[in-house]
Structure 1
């Protein structure tokens, strides 16, 4: 029986590296498509826009996972906005063209999206599910909608397609969590702004397990919320960090100070202040079980010695 192949587009980052380490012991050959590809047979260079020799890697693949997209951790200038959207839509469209060119296309294509497609959900409003979620407004929603529309427009009749509406993924070696933990150690573990904004999240191990589950679930198609089943307010998340790290100093983080900090660091406070309250209804109904269903479990695991 031939070795199954998993192709990860944009796989040099935090999520892609974890997926590679997770799937290789399961017997997969993992091939990474990257602009700055490394040496060896398990890397293929692409530009995320045009077809090339890398297309051959998709032939007969068990699965394609697309994680490609320029970071949103920047100022939302007109040029950056264009680049953020283009990096997602262009890579998705060229992958669609590559899948269409395959004699034996990938059996399943999991394409990144984002849980920020939903509206800002403050207070006690119900969490957004795939069926009943309220699609929001603003630039982050524009990005998500353009991404999913590009994905939906790719004809792939022999390939099952899944859009991953992923929340903030927590890991000790990448993403936002190490930065937040370091700041909390330095005394910035207080609520950010009023602290009432909701935070949807997912442990990196459960992200990899969810990808495996969706890869193997033959009826899974369409959009899935990838987030733990228990979102929590920002103030509770920051309290968990303080509880585990026990910093000797606690400085306030009013909204005006965070706005100044975001300007200096060339980023946007929407990444902090938007209230993301999302529920993984389809994952749970499909039978997926979370290894880290509560944020307390996840934070303790990630901060352990």
Structure 2
């Protein structure tokens, strides 16, 4: 049974959910964060003390990718992931009794734009471009630490859906104001996971002492963007939604300071290893996830 969990970068939407649920299980939760009131990233002694005899370390740290990819932001996105991972690795190396398991965030965006076939851990093709470079460097930094007494697992996380933040807020607003049609061509795949399933698979991987390496953290039934928006409109009782062609998205992304890649890249990711190892998703379909999140 887990007694001590360390959450690094755990003050966002996913981290908040994890923190609440670990505490419900009776775990002591230590937090490393830039936010005041927590162990700071430049406090190596504090990090070593937190990691000492921890059952589980989960690293969720990294600047949000929901911004314009100018040089300054690109540097911050890359460095915030690499540097925090290295700091955790060095702190773990300095422990007498390092964490039993270290799970590090990665991203399902590591695979290429795929409308032709799904990407699994075994046969997925790594893509190109800035977001992919971030993912590759992040995983390289993580696996460059050879910790003899610590199991290491990289979580290639798809888009996370939940009640208290993440992408649900903007998607809900689009539908509410009549803009919930498909984006771009609408044929791009949308890989997703309910935040509760993400938490449960962390518990599952923690229990399975035989498992290491890379895992796709995505629900088994991704959908095309057209179906995503249609399912959302149905659940919200919104009869229609205006589609957003690519030029309009480009204009809008500039205004709200984000990138169209976040909605136009086709992420077709399947959790093959998790399913092979016997993990069962609670929210297997997008409609069941929306039903839980939207309460209708």
TM range (shorter): over 0.9
How many angstroms does 1:50 deviate by?
Answer: 6.2
Look up the SS of the partner of 1:161 in the other structure: strand
Tell me whether 1:96 sits opposite 2:95 in the alignment.
no
- Give the distance between the partners of 2:241 and 2:11, measured in 1 at CA: 36
Q: Which runs of 5+ in 1 are unaligned?
A: 39-43
> Equivalent of 2:248, from 233, 257, 261?
257
Partner secondary structure for residue 18 of structure 1: helix
Runs of 4 or more, structure 1, over 3 Å off, are: none
Q: What TM-score results when the alignment is normalised by the length of structure 1?
A: 0.94
1:226-241 matched pairs, under 5 angstroms? 226-241=217-232
In 2, are the aligned partners of 1:46 and 1:52 still within 8 Å (CA)?
no
2:114 is aligned to 121
| Equivalent in the alignment of 2:270 | 279
Once residues 199 and 249 of structure 1 are traced to their aligned partners in structure 2, the CA distance between those partners, rounded to angstroms, is 20
Q: Which runs of 5+ in 2 are unaligned?
A: none
CA distance in 2, matches of 1:152, 1:301: 36
Pair 1:71-2:70 in alignment: no
1:46 is matched with which residue? 40
Q: Number of matched residues? A: 296
Counterpart CA distance in 2 for 1:271 and 1:132 is 23
Counterpart for residue 170 of structure 2: 179
**2:233 match:** 242
| TM-score, scaled to structure 2 | 0.97
The alignment partner of 2:44 has SS state of coil
Could you tell me how far apart the structure 1 residues matched to 2:113 and 2:44 are? 38
Q: Deviations over 1:99-119 (max 9, x none)?
A: 000001100000000000000
Q: Is the 8 A contact 2:158 2:192 kept in 1?
A: yes
- Report which stretch shifted further, 209-218 or 140-149: 209-218
- RMSD over aligned CA atoms reads 1.3
CA distance in 2, matches of 1:250, 1:105: 52
The reply to whether residue 15 of structure 1 matches residue 14 of structure 2 is yes
Indicate the residue corresponding to 1:108 in structure 2: 101
1:288 aligns to what?
Answer: 279
Q: Displacement of 1:246 after TM fit?
A: 2.3
Report the counterpart of residue 82 of structure 1 in structure 2: 75
